[in-house]
């Protein structure tokens, strides 16, 4: 009996509830795959837009924040934004020659989105104003960390840099709004019942 008890104890320690359940992991992954598929065709458009300069780039990068906003609002778990953004970049690798760059942009947007989500929401309050603030902060950090340096901001006039910053912030806020609206639309189909968003809606009802 004692042997059985020890075996059960070992089994219980092995089978303790993980931070992410398989269901949550798979849900995050398929959200990433769907957005990855949607983003693949737009990578060519994005590459073309890059040639139009810093303003078009600032506006278009917000597109990559859409999966981040959706994942943050639906899953509400630390790491969800980063995971979804990286995997949606992974999906692009076989379908586009810009795969590694898309993965890099996905990883960077995910890391910035995760940081902004942590700062603004602390994974507790996911109301629309906070989600928009998350988008605005992510847009600001993204512009500051990548665009200003990689496109060598110094050859541009300060007024143009301010305008491009505003565009970047605006694009990320629009992406956050779109993610919020899309998540609510999907929630109405009932498939998100097992996610944090679904549970919150059930409790509210």
Residue 5 binding other proteins, by CB under 8 A: no
Q: Is 166 in the site for other proteins (CB under 8 A)?
A: no
Site string for other proteins, 93-132 (x = CB under 8 A): xx-xxxxxx-------------------------------
Distant-in-sequence contacts of 76-80, Cβ < 8 A, 24+ apart: 76/123, 76/126, 76/196, 76/197, 77/19, 77/20, 77/24, 77/123, 77/196, 78/114, 78/118, 78/123, 79/20, 79/114, 80/28
Q: Does 37 bind other proteins (CB under 8 A)?
A: yes
CA distance 36 to 163: 29
50 binds other proteins (CB under 8 A): yes
Burial of 177 (0-12, 13-18, 19+ CB in 10 A): middle
Q: Does 202 bind other proteins (CB under 8 A)?
A: no
Residue 198 φ/ψ, nearest 5 degrees: -60, -45
Indicate whether 6 belongs to the interface with other proteins (CB under 8 A). Answer: no
Residue 54: count of CB within 10 angstroms of its CB: 23
Please identify, among the stretches 48-56, 114-122, 128-136, 165-173, the one whose residues bind other proteins according to the rule CB under 8 A.
Answer: 48-56
**Closest to 134 in 3D by CA, of 77, 185, 175:** 175
163 binds other proteins (CB under 8 A): no
| Residue 8 found at the interface with other proteins (CB under 8 A) | no
Q: Residue 128 or 157: which CB sits closer to other proteins?
A: 157
Instruction: Name the site residues for other proteins (rule: CB under 8 A).
Output: 14-15, 18, 20-23, 25-27, 29-34, 36-38, 44, 47-48, 50-54, 83, 87, 90-91, 93-94, 96-101, 149-152, 154-157, 160, 182, 185-186, 189, 191-192, 194
């Amino acid at each position: 009996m004692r042997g059985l008890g020890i075996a059960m104890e070992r089994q219980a320690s092995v089978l303790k509830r993980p931070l992410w359940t398989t269901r949550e992991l798979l849900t995050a992954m398929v959200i990433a795959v769907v957005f990855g598929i949607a983003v693949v065709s737009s990578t060519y458009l994005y590459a073309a837009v890059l040639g139009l300069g810093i303003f078009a780039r600032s506006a278009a990068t917000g597109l990559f924040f859409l999966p981040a906003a959706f994942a943050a609002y639906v899953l509400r778990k630390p790491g969800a934004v980063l995971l979804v953004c990286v995997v949606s970049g992974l999906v692009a690798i076989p379908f586009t020659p810009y795969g590694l760059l898309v993965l890099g942009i996905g990883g960077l947007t995910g890391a910035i989105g995760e940081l902004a989500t942590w700062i603004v929401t602390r994974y507790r309050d996911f109301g629309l104003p906070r989600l928009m603030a998350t988008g605005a902060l992510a847009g600001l950090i993204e512009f500051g960390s990548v665009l200003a340096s990689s496109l060598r901001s110094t050859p541009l006039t300060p007024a143009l840099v301010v305008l491009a910053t505003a565009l970047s912030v605006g694009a990320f806020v629009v992406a956050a709004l779109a993610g919020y609206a899309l998540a609510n639309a999907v929630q109405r189909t009932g498939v998100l019942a097992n996610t944090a968003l679904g549970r919150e809606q059930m409790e509210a009802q």
